[in-house]
Amino acid sequence: MEIREMKQQLVEVALSLYQRGLVVGSAGNMSVSLDDGTFLATPTGSSFGSLREGDVSHFTKEGTILCGKAPTKEVPFHLACYESHPHTRAVVHLHSTYATLLASCEHLVDGQPFVPFTPYFVMKVSKVGILPYRKPGSPLIATDILAKPQYSTYLMQNHGLIVCGATLNEALYSAEEFEESAKLWYLGRTLPIRHLTEEQLKELR
């Protein structure tokens, strides 16, 4: 895919996320890894609702900006995702409502932040790594990700969600599934939910 087409896709995805209320203000960021070893990312301080193709940052691993605006300040953890996940070509980071609410709960541990009760969560998200709270933009977030390469989805405590994917759409769909599953978890907390059995979980993985 040409760079311009990839920029257009980033703009389209960003607008869709904004229009559906999965991002607000200038929160959240996305990036993609290109075939030539460079990267595209949403700009720092930008709104997904007004992102333009010319705003998208094109930069090298070393941080040289090739065109567009300066990339998100969270670039270090995006690069850590690519380094620790060789097949990853896109990273989506959201502060979506229910995922962030779940990330702010006590006693979260690596694996499953709640007992799965839909097959789609297991198929699209699977295991989740829990990252400790860090100030947004902290380089320590990258260190935390590098320490947990076995996960491709992360909950950042009191912050939000990170999803790695082989394509931008794959990362997007996984992030959307996580948000919907977290919403179902919240709405169903007091209901007699039928959770998936271990046998059913094994069948899905």
Residues serving a catalytic function are 74, 120
In this prediction, residue 134 has a pLDDT band, given cuts at 50, 70 and 90, of very high
Please provide residue 108's backbone torsions phi and psi, each rounded to the nearest 5 degrees: -75, 140
Model pTM score: 0.94
Q: For residue 165, is pLDDT > 90?
A: yes
Span 82-102, average pLDDT: 97
Residue 184's closest CA among 175, 173, 193?
Answer: 193
Task: List the alpha helices (DSSP H) in the chain.
Answer: 3-19, 75-84, 97-103, 119-124, 140-146, 168-187, 198-204
Residue 63's closest CA among 53, 78, 52, 50?
Answer: 78
- Determine the length of the chain: 205
In this prediction, residue 82 has a pLDDT band, given cuts at 50, 70 and 90, of very high
Mean pLDDT of the chain: 95
Taking the C-alpha atoms of residue 112 and residue 130, their distance in angstroms, rounded to an integer, is: 9
The number of angstroms, rounded, from the C-alpha of 146 to the middle of its chain's C-alpha atoms is: 15
